[in-house]
């Protein structure tokens, strides 16, 4: 798997040299990954897929998924340390282990269709015999996969797997990942803000709506907390959460996403312009709930206004930090 990951990463960087990923429509970028990079990563996975550790947490450390995540982060324009579940979530991308299992079970259907004299079929039957003797085998590993996704009550032997049962298996695996994703999201202190508005596992509309790559990247970083606000910077400096105060203004408030977007006096002009563009939709952002509603919005104008606002605030913040002046 390491060799496949390295080859795929080389191909990804080669594409990157010829294409500016940030300027591509997200669906096109994903299609390029799925048609060029993914086949390299999943080469022969219908066989070795039976031997990988079935664990969503550990899977992120595999060379295969690391390459997948590298693509996600390159396209989004976020840092390498950005939370994996958020990066895949923004693009509506599932971990490649799910694709591997889909290929694996399609291969089982193929093996079931082969005549007994075929070498692949004979190897399959030998592995079944080993499984019956409680010896680790290809057949037994796949049965364990079915059990881990609660499919073993419906499918008691691999010979019963057919095209009709493939969607049942695939849906069960995807649902288990969605449950895992939601649990991780709800229990992540880093993604506390993201959890308030990210309710659907799908490709986010803003990624195709915003054409300005700088503004789109600024909004993405704001959404997934890949920024340098004190709420995040203080995490790495081991500053208690309640002491991660805004250094741009003298309010004594924690510099989190809500303070940054709603109340920091340093961005009063930008905020006023933002309110003006949305005057038909709201008068003023007065609470956290209203900001969450705006973050959830799929309206074209709202998305563009929000990205422009967030980007301009980050630019202004950098300017204040450079000149070393706090706003009173």
Contact at 8 Å (CB) between 305 and 274? yes
pLDDT under 50 in the chain at which residues? Answer: none
Q: Which two tokens stand for residue 39?
A: 């086949």
Predicted pLDDT at 143: 92
157-196 pLDDT, tens digit per residue, is 888 888 888 888 999 999 999 999 999 999 999 999 999 9
Max Cα–Cα distance, the chain, nearest Å: 83
Helix axes 63-76, 2-18, angle to 10 degrees: 20
CB 200 within 8 A of CB 24: no
Burial string for 218-252 (b: 16+ CB within 10 Å, else e) reads: bbbbbbbbbbebbbbebeeeeeeeeebbbebbebe
pTM score, whole prediction: 0.90
Contact 97, 69 (CB under 8 A): no
Per-state percent for the chain, helix, strand, coil, to nearest 5: 65, 0, 30
CA–CA dist 105, 161 (Å, integer): 8
């Amino acid at each position: 798997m390491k060799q496949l990951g390295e080859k795929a990463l080389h191909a990804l960087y080669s594409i990157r040299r010829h294409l500016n990923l940030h300027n591509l429509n997200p669906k096109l970028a994903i299609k390029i990954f799925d048609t060029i990079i993914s086949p390299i990563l999943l080469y022969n996975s219908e066989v070795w897929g039976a031997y990988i550790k079935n664990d969503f947490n550990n899977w992120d450390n595999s060379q295969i998924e690391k390459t997948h995540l590298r693509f996600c982060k390159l396209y989004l324009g976020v840092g390498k340390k950005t939370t994996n579940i958020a990066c895949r979530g923004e693009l509506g991308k599932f971990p490649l282990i799910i694709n591997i299992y889909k290929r694996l079970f399609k291969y089982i259907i193929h093996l079931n269709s082969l005549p007994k004299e075929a070498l692949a079929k004979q190897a399959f039957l030998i592995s079944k015999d080993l499984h019956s003797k409680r010896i680790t085998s290809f057949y037994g590993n796949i049965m364990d996969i079915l059990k881990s996704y609660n499919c073993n009550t419906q499918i008691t032997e691999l010979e019963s797997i057919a095209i009709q049962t493939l969607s049942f298996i695939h849906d069960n695996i995807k649902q288990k990942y969605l449950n895992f994703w939601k649990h991780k999201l709800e229990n992540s202190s880093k993604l506390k803000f993201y959890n308030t508005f990210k309710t659907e596992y799908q490709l986010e509309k803003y990624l195709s709506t915003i054409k300005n790559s700088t503004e789109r990247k600024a909004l993405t970083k704001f959404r997934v907390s890949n920024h340098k606000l004190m709420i995040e910077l203080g995490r790495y400096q081991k500053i208690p959460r309640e002491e991660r105060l805004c250094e741009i203004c003298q309010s004594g408030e924690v510099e989190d996403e809500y303070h940054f977007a709603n109340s920091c006096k340093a961005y009063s002009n930008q905020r006023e312009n933002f309110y003006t563009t949305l005057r038909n939709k709201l008068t003023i952002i007065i609470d956290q709930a209203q900001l969450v509603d705006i973050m959830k919005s799929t309206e074209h104008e709202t998305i563009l206004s929000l990205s422009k606002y967030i980007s301009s605030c980050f630019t202004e913040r950098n300017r204040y930090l450079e000149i070393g002046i706090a706003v009173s």
